[in-house]
Structures are given as C-alpha cells and as structure tokens.
Amino acid sequence: MASLFSSVLLSLCLLSSPFLSNANAKSKLGFTADLIHRDSPKSPFYNPTENSSQRLRNAIHRSVNRVFHFTDISQKDASDSEPQIDLTSNSGEYLMNISLGTPPFPIMAIADTGSDLLWTQCKPCDDCYTQVDPLFDPKASSTYKDVSCSSSQCTALENQASCSTEDNTCSYSTSYGDRSYTKGNIAVDTLTLGSTDTRPVQLKNIIIGCGHNNAGTFNKKGSGIVGLGGGAVSLITQLGDSIDGKFSYCLVPLTSENDQTSKINFGTNAVVSGTGVVSTPLIAKSQETFYYLTLKSISVGSKEVQYPGSDSGSGEGNIIIDSGTTLTLLPTEFYSELEDAVASSIDAEKKQDPQTGLSLCYSATGDLKVPAITMHFDGADLQLKPSNCFVQISEDLVCFAFRGSPSFSIYGNVAQMNFLVGYDTVSKTVSFKPTDCAKM
C-alpha cells in the first residue's frame, strides 16, 4: 500500500474549506481514486475460503443490518417527524487507500456515503478493538494538530463534540446502532488519497477523529472510515469549493471478471454529462449526513406501482441513496405490491432461499426472462438492467435484489452498478449515466 504514495505528491492546501482561514483561495481539484469492494482480493476483508455465493449472501446480510434500528425523532422534537437512522459500525461495501500525517501513514478505510467523520484508531489506544494493521501515531506526524474547543472545527461536530477542561482540546464521541462506539480527539492533519493517475493527492488541514477508545463490532482488519456524507465535517464538505461540491462513482458489477476496480471521482473529474444522463433533485433534511432523493414510482413492464404519498406530494425526500447498502430497501407494503408485479411478469417456478431472507427467487438453470424495471425519480426515469434487479445467489438460484423494510427506503448499490452516479452538492442534484464501469 505504501507504494501508492511513493511518487511525487500533488500538494494542495484546502484554504476554501469553511473551517480554515484565508478562504479566498480558488484552487480547483480534479482527481480519481480506486474504490475497492470489500470482497475483492485487494481488500483486507477478503476471505479466500469463501465462494462467490457465500460472499454475496454475506453482503446481503450486511445490507439488511446496515440500518440497525429507528427511533422516531418526533418523540424528541415535535417540530421534526423525520426518522432517526442509526448506522451499524461495521457496514460499508467499498474501501479506499488513504494515508494520514507527514510522513504519510497508509490506511485502508471504508468509504461511506452514510457517515461524515473521517476517523481511525490512534496511539495510545486506551481501550481499543483488536486491529491487524499498525495504529496511527499522531506523535509521529509533523502535521498533526489537536484543535481547541472554541475552534470552528470543534463546533462543526455539534452534539458529537465535547471539551476537555484540562487542556481545552476538542473531543468527539460517536456511537452506532449496534452499540459500537468510537471516542477520541478531534484534530487536523494531512490526508493523502491514492489517485489512479499515479500522482497521489495531498490535502492539508483535514478534520479527523483520532480514536483512543473504540469498541464494538468493528472488524479487526479494518482501520478507519472516510465519511462521504453531506454533514459539516465530511470529506466532501471539507473539500468544499475546491471540488465545486462534486463527486461521482462508478461501481463495477459484483460478477465482473478480472477483478476490475470501481472508481470514485472528485471535482472536475466528477462531472456527469453527455448522452443518456438523467438528474433528480437532492432533498435537504435535518439529517444532513444522508443523501435524500424522491422516488415517485417503479414501473414493471407497463405496470406502474406508485410510491406511498407520491400523489399528494408528501413523499419528497423519501429514499436515501447509499453506496454502502447492497440491496434496495422499500416500505413493506410498497415492496409487496412491487414484488407481485414482478412475479406476475415472470413465467417460472419460484424457489426459496432461507439463508438470505429474499422472498422472490427463481431457478437459475433455465433461461429466466425478467421484465423491464424503471425507477421513476423526480425528473429522472432510470431504466435498470436485469443485473441491477436480480442477483445470482448460487449456481441454481437467482433472487430479486429488492426487499421490504419496516420504516425507510434505501437505493442500494446493486441498482447503481454500471451507472456513473454524480453528486452535485451545490446544484443539489444527483445524476445517472449508463456506463460500462469496468472500462473507466
């Protein structure tokens, strides 16, 4: 991993960040990095003893557990009826090669559009989960600096931050729905991202969490999280004007041969344009971390299934788009109607798969003909390919890659594969372009 950072560094001081001084700088960035699926041989999570069916089943189970539970915020604040979403700590399907500090210290971190803070375990680790890779030592970095309680970096964390009365340093505490947690110091340091053009990109004064007390269900082979959400301390927000609020990714299908790597693009490299592009508004909600879209309906062949509340206009921002969730999750009743429409369009015998809990499965031994499925987002009709809708669980079993969820909706990564998906946080849009991601 260290070889990624051995060539000449492109050094850019992100003075356009709202948390840094001299905000008049106008440096613009454009770069692309690899997104490594956690089941790829390039991933530390890769288990060579598992076959492709086992890996897919594991991904489905992680998808179901991605959101651990809901608490209705309206019980806490009558002015806000949005559900509280708690993410599990060991979720996320894609990883990035990053480095922290000076000299660069390599970390393989989960890239997560469902969280904000970039954090890793740090020395000294007072009470930490077992980690295979070495821990980041802030004392070994000449550019590491704890931030004060009165700093803009600290106040940006709002209720996640606390203040040390001993030395006036800012601390953070983040807990997850499965009771895992990370606690430590808020600091700024240099972040280095491995770029596909072999020139790593060095970003100065990035807000990070240096975790000294971490416990729960974290995987011992993982060593950090890169938050790509919409909140104040996410990497996207910190890059700010330097990337014009733009990032995009292109996810290679799970069945792709030759172990092709997915890509994530920032700034000028992230523009989605040309033939076939459709765009839909990003909806702002009080939970700034998540990227909300509006799903109007789903068509199965000529039959259109309306999303609950879409007719009355009350369904604005009713689905989260997330790269870290495998399946597409929909409200139970709506999903049931969708499943009926799909099943009635397929002339084949249903099969059961008790291991994944997916309710619509068929034998994969014959020529399974599936209907055309189109997602009707606000202003964007997205026609999916069969590989976006069905996954091959085993040699003889194919299942619908959607399922019901009690309280919320997530547009998962299987449905996004072989699309260039672009986020523009300034224009408040998400764009989709059909793309052969293995050729990017």
Q: Which residues are known to be catalytic? A: 112, 322
- 296, amino acid identity: K
β-strand pairing of 10-13 with 201-215 = parallel
**Which residues 6+ apart lie within 8 Å of 395 measured at CB?**
53, 364
Phi, psi of 171 (to 5 degrees): -120, 160
Question: Residue 370's beta-bridge partner residues?
Answer: none
Answer for the pair 298, 375: CB distance below 8 angstroms, yes or no: yes
Torsion of CA 388, 394, 400, 403, to 10 degrees: -110
Sign of CA dihedral 254, 258, 263, 269: negative
Both tokens of 185, joined, read 């110091």
Answer for the pair 47, 284: CB distance below 8 angstroms, yes or no: no
Length of the chain in terms of residues written: 440
- What's the 3-state SS for 105-151? EEEEEEEECCCCCCEEEECCCCECCCCCCCCECHHHCCCCEECECCC
Least Cα distance to 242 among 22, 25, 21, 20 occurs for 25
Both tokens of 265, joined, read 């693009």
Q: Position of tokens 């015998």?
A: 349
Answer for the pair 344, 241: CB distance below 8 angstroms, yes or no: no
Query: In this structure, how many other beta carbons lie within 10 angstroms of the beta carbon of residue 150?
Result: 10
- 226, amino acid identity: V
Dist. CA 117–CA 19, nearest whole Å: 14
Query: In this structure, how many other beta carbons lie within 10 angstroms of the beta carbon of residue 246?
Result: 24
Dist. CA 48–CA 173, nearest whole Å: 35
- 145, amino acid identity: K
